[in-house]
Structure formats: C-alpha cells, structure tokens
C-alpha cells in the first residue's frame, strides 16, 4: 500500500465510476421489472418536505397525492401537490434518527426530481463507493491486479445487487468497508503519530455519519478501541499518549457528527434491544443452522411478539414499572432487561450462534451464485454460477488456514486479523439476515485473493508472506494455539453445563406447576382437528392478556403430524401463530408428549394437522409460574431428561 499511492488513487476512482455506473444500471433494471428502490418508504415524508422547501417536518394531514407516493402507489411526486396552507406538525419528528439518510435523499430529489426510480444515480454512487472501498480493503492482502479483480467480483455479486434497492440498509455498506480499511491500516501499517490520530478521527467521523444513515455503524466502535489498545505496531504498552490521543480524537469526531442527529431526534427510547430480542427467535435459529428440539427462545421473529412478550414480562416481574409502550424510555428499559434475562438463561447458545455466524461469513461469495435478474449479463452469471456453486464450504477452511499461517509467521498481525474476523463474523448473530451482513462478503474475497496471491508469489519465486521462521518458533506458537483452542472449548463446555442445569430446573418447575384444565370445543375438517378454547377466546381480546398453556398429546396417536397454536385471523397479532412438528413415538415408548407455549392477545385454538384420532389429550392453563421471568416454549417427550439442553450447529449448508 505504501508504494505508488497515486496508482491506487486512480484505480479507486476508476472502480468508483465503473461500479457506480453498473449499480445505477442494475437499479434501473430492477425498477423496470417492478422492484423500485426503498425500505420503510412511508417514513420518508420529511425528505419530501425538505426537497419541496418545507423543512424537515411531517404534515398534520398528508395530502392524498403524498400518501400515494409514500405507499409507492405512485412513483413520482410533484411539490405542487402540497397545499400552500399545509399544516405542519410541531416539534421533532421520529424520523430524526435517520437525519443524514433523509437529507441525502432530499438532496437527490431536489437535483433529480422526486421519484423512487429516480434514486438510481444515488444508489449507483453508494454501490461504486462500496466497490472502491472494497478495493482498498483487498489491497492489504494482495497486489493491485488481484485487488481489482476482487473488486470486480464484489461488483458482480448477486447478494450486493439484491440488497442495493433497499437503500436504507445499503447505505451502510461503503461506510462499513471504509471503517474496515482504516482498522486494517491501524493494525498492519507503521504509522506516525499524526497519521494515526487522523485515521482515528476519520474512523469516529464515519461512525457518526453512518449513525445518521443506519445505526449499525455503532457496532464498529469496539474494533477501533481494541485495535488501538492491543494491536498497534510496537506493542501493547508502547506509545500510550498517542493511543489516548487517537481514541480521544475518535470520540470527539463521533460526538460532533452524531450531535445533529441526536438533536433532531425526539427524546424517546431506542429500539436496539427490541431488535436484538428478535434475533433470538426460531427463524434466525434456522438461518444460523442451529437448533434444539426441546426448547425455543421465543415464538416468532415479529415486532408484535416482542412487544407482547416484553409487556407480559414486565407485568409479571416488575409490576411497579410503567407500561412498556414502544419507542419510549420505559420500553427501552423493559426490552434491555428482557434481553439480559435471555442472555443469562442461554449463555452457551449465544456462543454457539456466534460460532455459527463466524463459520458462514467466509462462504458469502459462494452462497448466492444465482443471477440477480433474468436478462442481466445472463452468460456471465451462468459461468459465475457454475464456478461458485461447488466452492461453498471451502471459504471457512481457507480463512482459518490463512489466519493460522499468518499467526505462525507474524503473531501480532495474525492475532489482530483473527480478532477482526471473529468480531465481524460474530456480530451478525444479533439478527442473522443477509441485509445485515451482505457487506461482509468482502472478507471472503479478501481471503480468496490473499490465497491466490501467495500461491502465485510462491510459484514465481518472489517470496510469499510465509517463510523465515525457525522450527522452534513454529512449535512454540502451535503449542500456544492448541492451548488457546482447548481453553475456548473448555469455556463452551462449561457454559453448556451451566445452561443445562438452569434449563433443567426451569423445565422441572414447569412440570410441577399448578394447572387448570380448559374446556375445549373440538371440530374436525378434512385433515385438521381444531380445539377451540371458549374461555380463552373471550379473555384474549384484551391486548395485555397473556397466559402459559400446557398441551398434552399422544405421539403414538398423532402419527407425526403438526400442532399449531392458532391466533384469530382477524387479530392484529395473527402472525404469532406457530406450528411445531410432533415427533413420532419411539418403539416401545408411551408416546406421551407435553408442550408448553406462551400465548397472547388474539389466541384462539390448538389445531392438529395430519394427526390421527385421539392425538390431543388435554389443554390446560399453567397457573403457578407468574413469577417466572421467561416463558419458554417447550416440547417434552419421555426422554427429555437425557436430551442436550443447548443448541447445536445442525448444518453449514447454504440455506439462503
């Protein structure tokens, strides 16, 4: 990176321009196919008002034309549709936390006209910046040719292009890669004090600006702190004054760039703990490839479920707290406490989920080989699909081998890169969806480019990174690595033992709890057996209503069907309906199966699908667990006491 900076600068600009044009072209193609840019479009009213010269406000009663535009019924909007006497809401608007994003969109609309499809030049700019900063990241592992090829691969990525129209999520991508590039420069390059402090300040400024686009950038703050404190060239104790000055400069830059956003945001609670709770739900278990057949951490990954379960948690365990209404300080406090309960109850699962996330990040380049859109470079994407599909599963071994080799030869750099990989690979477990980690595809291409560059250097005899290390040093560092792995495994085993004891006590408490049998109205239709619960249906209209129910079935009679906790289709909480598979009875077993499920407002019935007669034995309300902090969904067969009570990584297959 230190030689020929002008050549790198020229390539940065060229990649920005070419990838920017390609990104705009793809967004236009998406729009032509009916997929217009946007995400939470209904919240972009302040951007429209700003573009029309009305200020960063919302109207009291939005005009019909504006509502059609915000709901994407219309692609374009004219400022003339805003009445001259339009009433404006007083005070700050909730969208103030999106200040920089909305002002950016407003600026584009002023220049290009107000339309969703007209945002393609802005999205193209962000796509170009992502590829260009990807080039900077790649240069730390390879030469200019290799970095340019990896940037091209990133630009052709189906995953990047599929996420591009969702511009609120995509705007973080270039900032995240720029932050990664700065972290790599700090950890790998010998920098003078002024350069180090300047890079720290730039890091802080990018975090603050990114916060006004999408708060994800806050997750990168620990990267800077750990890098500066532990991994700068010279050692942990060297240059203490420079390290303090660098972190102070970063903190000041974060404060300055975040201040306008905080000033424009109403003094309400944030939603970050709510988002993290959603990440524990079964849908994200499936995305991570982890599972346990005995328990789930919750019912479903929906805002409604987290809201209702948090309200139930507060009512049962903290009745003196104010009602947790979403987007209030009370809700922020309640969801934080609820998340801490989850974390304290499932510590081993948190580690397992993190490991699963880490193992999947290097496979991203090979996980979406399909073309992004029919008719878009079909031949190129056909070749790309044939090449990448068989490579899924090799990304992790290549990454681990590269990190191990670098650590053997250059321990500080290797440990630093291992920290970066582990941290960046683990944090997506907060909510493991590709819109939250697509930018990390750059890690996979960095590894691929690094491996090929080292192989090429060895073939032509230039001398790769590896070499010049004695056998004694190799053995010593291998021994240290083995000890570290053993300690890590030991910690995980200890957490699993602790979690098992906690859950075993919890389950025994569930089984011993008092129950009140419920009267059922049972009906059959085709393959469905429905057990409506009149008493519950009448009570559950209350939005604050919550109960824990116990369902007993005969697995032998059910024959491997499914059980659904069905909510009223007319209820606003109908998305909480959850279906579980009923295991078949083991040979010679009793086949008795007990399930526990927390149910909330709108719950109506227990439905059995594909089950034989006599499957359902009883449905009861559990009355003795009101002081239990967490109501955990359970499915218990006769052998549950010998089952593992922690999650396992069930698969690393590409499930996307």
Instruction: Give the pLDDT mean for 38-43.
Output: 80
Provide the token pair at 598: 């927390």
Instruction: Give the pLDDT mean for 3-14.
Output: 88
Beta bridge partner(s), residue 550 = 596, 620
Higher pLDDT, 652 or 164: 164
Residue-level pLDDT at 611? 78
- Has residue 653 been placed in a domain? no
Task: Mark residue 239 as left, alpha or beta (left: phi above 0; alpha: psi -120 to 50; beta: remaining).
Answer: left
User: For the chain, what percent of residues have pLDDT higher than 90?
Assistant: 70
Q: State the residue range of the domain holding 572.
A: 514-623
Residue-level pLDDT at 66? 94
Instruction: Give the pLDDT mean for 50-58.
Output: 93
Degrees, nearest 5: CA angle 265-267-273: 90
Q: Is the pLDDT of residue 2 over 50?
A: no
- Has residue 98 been placed in a domain? no
Residue-level pLDDT at 179? 98
For 521-540, letters b (16+ CB in 10 Å) and e give eeeeeeebbbbbbeebeeeb
- Has residue 578 been placed in a domain? yes
Can you point out the beta strands (E) in 314-469? none
Number of structural domains, the chain?
1
Please count the CA atoms within 13 angstroms of the CA of 485 that sit on its side-chain side.
8
Residue-level pLDDT at 401? 94
- Has residue 615 been placed in a domain? yes
Q: What is the pLDDT of residues 350-376, one digit of tens each?
A: 999 999 999 999 999 999 989 998 888
Which residue from 614, 550, 549, 557 is spatially nearest to 583, judged by alpha carbons? 557
Q: What is the pLDDT of residues 292-314, one digit of tens each?
A: 999 999 999 999 999 999 999 99
Residue-level pLDDT at 29? 92
- Has residue 453 been placed in a domain? no
Q: Is the pLDDT of residue 587 over 50?
A: no
Distance CA 298, CA 305 (A): 8
Q: Is the pLDDT of residue 1 over 50?
A: no
Instruction: Give the pLDDT mean for 4-25.
Output: 94
Provide the token pair at 569: 């289709």
Q: Is the pLDDT of residue 588 over 50?
A: no
- What's the pTM value of the predicted model, to 2 decimals? 0.92
Confidence band, pLDDT 50/70/90 cuts, at residue 556:
confident
Q: Is the pLDDT of residue 182 over 50?
A: yes
| DSSP 8-state class, residue 21 | H
Which residue from 184, 271, 210 is spatially nearest to 446, judged by alpha carbons? 184
CATH of the domain at 597: 2.60.120
- Has residue 562 been placed in a domain? yes
Residue-level pLDDT at 94? 82
Residue-level pLDDT at 549? 94
Instruction: Answer for the pair 328, 268: CB distance below 8 angstroms, yes or no.
Output: yes
Instruction: Answer for the pair 647, 291: CB distance below 8 angstroms, yes or no.
Output: yes
Instruction: Answer for the pair 540, 572: CB distance below 8 angstroms, yes or no.
Output: no
| DSSP 8-state class, residue 76 | B
- Has residue 523 been placed in a domain? yes
Confidence band, pLDDT 50/70/90 cuts, at residue 542:
confident
| DSSP 8-state class, residue 568 | P
Going across the sheet that includes 592-600, the strands are 515-517, 616-622, 546-554, 592-600, 634-636
* Continuous segment of H or E residues that includes residue 457: helix 441-460
Instruction: Give the pLDDT mean for 496-505.
Output: 95
Q: What is the total residue count of the chain? A: 656
Confidence band, pLDDT 50/70/90 cuts, at residue 138:
very high
State the sign of the Cα–Cα–Cα–Cα dihedral 482, 488, 491, 493: negative
Higher pLDDT, 30 or 135: 135
For residue 229, how many other CB atoms are within 10 A of its CB? 14
Report the mean per-residue pLDDT for the chain.
90
Q: What is the pLDDT of residues 225-277, one digit of tens each?
A: 999 999 998 888 888 999 999 999 999 999 999 999 999 888 776 788 999 99
State the sign of the Cα–Cα–Cα–Cα dihedral 548, 549, 550, 555: negative
- Has residue 535 been placed in a domain? yes
Q: Is the pLDDT of residue 595 over 50?
A: yes
Q: Give one DSSP letter per residue of 197-220, joined into a string.
A: HHHHHHHHHHHHHHHTT-GGGGGG
Degrees, nearest 5: CA angle 654-449-384: 50
Q: Is the pLDDT of residue 656 over 70?
A: no
Which three-class secondary structure state does DSSP give residue 109? Answer: helix
């Amino acid at each position: 990176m230190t030689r020929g900076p002008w050549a790198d600068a020229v390539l940065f600009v060229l990649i920005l321009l070419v990838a920017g044009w390609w990104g705009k072209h793809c967004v236009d193609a998406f729009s032509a196919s009916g997929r217009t840019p946007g995400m939470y479009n209904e919240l972009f009213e302040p951007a429209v008002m700003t573009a029309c010269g009305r200020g960063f406000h919302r109207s009291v009663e939005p005009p019909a034309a504006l509502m059609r535009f915000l709901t994407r019924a219309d692609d374009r909007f004219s400022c003339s549709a805003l009445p001259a006497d339009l009433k404006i809401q007083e005070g700050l608007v909730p969208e103030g936390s999106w200040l920089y994003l909305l002002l950016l969109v407003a600026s584009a609309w002023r220049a290009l006209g107000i339309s969703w499809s007209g945002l393609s030049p802005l999205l193209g700019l962000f796509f170009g910046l992502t590829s260009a900063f990807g080039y900077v990241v790649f240069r730390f592992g390879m030469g200019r040719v290799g970095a340019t090829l990896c940037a091209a691969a990133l630009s052709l990525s189906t995953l990047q292009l599929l996420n591009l129209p969702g511009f609120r999520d995509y705007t973080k991508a270039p900032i995240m890669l720029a932050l990664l590039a700065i972290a790599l420069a700090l950890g790998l390059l010998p920098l003078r004090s002024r350069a180090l402090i300047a890079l720290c300040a730039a890091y802080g400024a990018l975090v603050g600006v990114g916060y006004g686009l999408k708060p994800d950038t806050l997750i990168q703050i620990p990267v800077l702190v750990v890098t500066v404190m532990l991994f700068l060239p010279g050692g942990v104790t060297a240059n203490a004054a420079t390290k303090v000055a660098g972190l102070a400069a970063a903190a000041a830059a974060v404060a300055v760039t975040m201040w306008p956003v905080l000033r424009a945001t109403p003094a309400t609670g944030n939603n970050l703990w709510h988002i993290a709770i959603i990440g524990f739900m079964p849908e994200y278990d499936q995305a991570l490839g982890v599972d346990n057949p005995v328990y789930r951490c919750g019912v479903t990954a929906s805002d409604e479920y987290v809201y209702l379960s948090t309200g139930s948690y507060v009512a049962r365990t903290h009745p003196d707290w104010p009602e947790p209404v979403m987007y209030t300080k009370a809700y922020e406090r309640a969801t934080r406490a609820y998340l801490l309960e989850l974390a304290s109850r499932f510590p081993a699962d948190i580690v397992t989920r993190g490991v699963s996330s880490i193992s999947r990040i290097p496979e991203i380049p090979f996980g979406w080989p399909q073309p992004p859109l029919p008719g878009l470079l079909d031949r190129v994407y056909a070749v790309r699909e044939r090449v990448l599909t068989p490579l899924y599963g090799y990304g992790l071994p290549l990454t681990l081998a590269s990190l191990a080799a670098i650590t053997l030869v250059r321990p500080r750099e290797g440990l630093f890169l291992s920290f970066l990989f582990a941290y960046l690979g683990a944090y997506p477990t907060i909510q493991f969806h590709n819109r939250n980690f697509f930018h990390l595809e750059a890690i996979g291409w960095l590894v691929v480019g690094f491996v090929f560059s080292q192989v090429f250097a060895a073939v032509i005899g230039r001398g790769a990174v590896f070499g010049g290390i004695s056998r004694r040093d190799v053995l010593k560092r291998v021994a240290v690595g083995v000890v570290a792995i053993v300690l890590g495994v030991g910690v995980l085993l200890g957490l699993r033992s602790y979690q098992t004891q906690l859950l075993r006590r919890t389950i025994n408490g569930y089984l011993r709890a008092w129950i009140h049998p419920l009267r059922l109205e049972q009906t059959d239709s085709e393959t469905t057996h429905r057990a409506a619960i009149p008493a519950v249906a009448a009570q559950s209209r209350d939005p604050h209503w919550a109960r824990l129910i116990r369902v007993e079935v005969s697995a032998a009679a059910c024959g491997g069907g499914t059980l659904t906790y069905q909510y009223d289709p007319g209820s606003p909480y109908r998305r909480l309906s959850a279906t579980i598979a009923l295991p078949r009875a083991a040979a010679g077993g009793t086949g008795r199966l007990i399930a526990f499920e927390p149910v909330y407002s709108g719950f109506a019935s227990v439905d059995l699908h594909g089950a034989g007669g006599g499957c359902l034995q009883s449905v009861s309300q559990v009355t003795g667990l009101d002081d239990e902090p967490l109501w955990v969904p359970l499915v218990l067969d006769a052998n549950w006491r010998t089952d593992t009570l922690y999650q396992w990584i069930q698969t690393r297959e590409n499930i996307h």
